[in-house]
Amino acid sequence: MILAVLFSNSEGNILVERFHGVPSEERLHWRSFLVKLGADNLKGAKNEELFVASHKSVYIVYTVLGDVCIYVVGKDDYDELALSEVIFVITSAVKDVCGKPPTERLFLDKYGRICLCLDEIVWKGMLENTEKDRIKRLIRLKPPTDV
């Protein structure tokens, strides 16, 4: 289960978040934990360099892409390696939508499409589509495989 996908800017403000199966009272904790994790570790990190953390049975993989920090939290099947796959798909999609590792401005400009992409990548706590082209088609309401 992918418990959360979260985007924040470099100052730790949250830009996008998707939770699944996390009680609402826990979300605030997760937000602060993730943002602190990023603040502690992501300074000076290279784009798409993967970081890992774990807590109890939950895994966290996070990275930085341009001005944006991306966090993915999962458990069970979605261990640190599966989450690496997830985060890889997400970063490729974001890069694809923005054309490059986004600045915060660019990210916000493309906010809507990024949300649609995220919808195609993670759906109800599970990884859905992974191929870039396929995601691109789906956010334009084209079938996954072109006729």
Partner 1 sequence: MQDASGTTLMDLITADPTAPPPSTSGTSPSTLGKPAQKPVQTERRTKKGTLMQIQSDTIAVAKALNPVRANIRTQKQKRKPVSYAQLARSIHELSAASDQKSSQKQLVNHVFPKLAVYNSVDPSVAPSLLMLDQQCEDRNVLRYVYYYLARILSDTGSQGLSPGGGIPTPNWDALADIDAVGGVTRADVVPRIVNQLTTEASNADIEFHARRIAALKALTAAPSSNSEILAKLYEIVFGILDKVADANQKRRKGMFGKGGDKESIIRSNLQYAALTALRRLPLDPGNPVFLHRAVQGVSFADPVAVRHSLAIISELATKDPYSVAMALGKLVLPGGALQDILHLHDVLARVSLARLCHTISRARALDERPDIKSQFSSVLYQLLLDPSERVCFEAILCVLGKFDNTERTEERAGGWYRLTREILKLPEVPSVTLKESIDDPKDALPPKSAKDKASHKTRRPQPLVKLVMRRLESSFRSFSRPVLHAAARVVQEMGKSRAAAFSLGVDIDEGAPLHAYSETVESVDQDINETSEGSRKGFLLSNGMGGKDTIANLLASLMEVVRTTVACECVYVRGMVIKALIWMQSPYEPFDELESIIASELSDPAWPSTLLNDILLTLHARFKATPDMAVTLLEIARIFATKVPGKIDADVLQLLWKTCLVGAGPDGKHTALEAVTIVLDLPPPQPGTMSGLTSVDRVSASDPKSALALQRLVQAAVWFLGENANYAASEYAWESATPPGTALMMLDADKMVAAASSRNPTLAGALTRLQRCAFSGSWEVRIVAAQALTTMAIRSGEPFRLQIYEFLHALAQGGMQSQFSEIHLSNGEDQGASGTGLGSLIAPMLKVLDEMYRAQDDLIREMRNHDNAKKEWTDDELKKLYETHEKLLDLVSLFCYVPRAKYLPLGPISAKLIDIYRTRHNISASAGLNDIAVATGISDLVYESNATPEKDPDELDQDLVNAWAANLGDDGLWGNNAPAMNRVNEFLAGAGTDAPDVEEENFTSRASVSYDDMWAKTLLETTEVEEYDARSSGTSSPESTGSVETSISSHFGGSYPSLFSSRPTTYGASQSSERSGAAGSRFSNPGGSSSTFEGVGSPIREEPPSYEASVMQRFESFENPMAARGAPSFGSQDDEEPISSDNQQFGKALYDFTAGGDDELNLTAGEELEIDYEVDGWFYHFHCHVIIVLMYPSYVALCSVVLSGLSLHSQHSVPSNLCWSPGSNFLA
Q: Give residues 102-131 in contact with partner 1 (rule: CB under 8 A).
A: 104-105, 108-113, 115-116, 119, 123-124, 126-130
User: Residue 63 is inside which H or E element, if any?
Assistant: strand 58-65
Q: How far apart are CA 27 and CA 102, in angstroms?
A: 26
Task: Choose which of 58, 64, 69, 90 interacts with partner 1 (CB under 8 A).
Answer: 58
Which residue has 């600045």 as its token pair? 103
Number of residues that bind partner 1 (CB under 8 A): 77
Report in angstroms how near the CB of residue 23 gets to partner 1 at its nearest.
Answer: 9
Nearer to partner 1, 96 or 109 (CB): 109
CA dihedral (10, 13, 17, 20) in degrees, to 10, reads 100
100 binds partner 1 (CB under 8 A): no
Residues 6+ positions from 84 with CB-CB distance below 8 Å: 50, 61
Nearer to partner 1, 95 or 113 (CB): 113
Nearer to partner 1, 47 or 115 (CB): 115
Nearer to partner 1, 99 or 141 (CB): 141
Q: How many CB atoms lie within 10 A of CB 126?
A: 13
Helical H runs in the chain? 24-41, 80-98, 104-109, 111-121, 132-138
Nearer to partner 1, 80 or 96 (CB): 80
Q: Which of residues 11-50 bind partner 1 (CB under 8 A)?
A: 11-22, 24, 26-33, 35-36, 41, 50
Q: Which of residues 65-94 bind partner 1 (CB under 8 A)?
A: 75-77, 79-85
CA terminus-to-terminus distance, the chain: 32
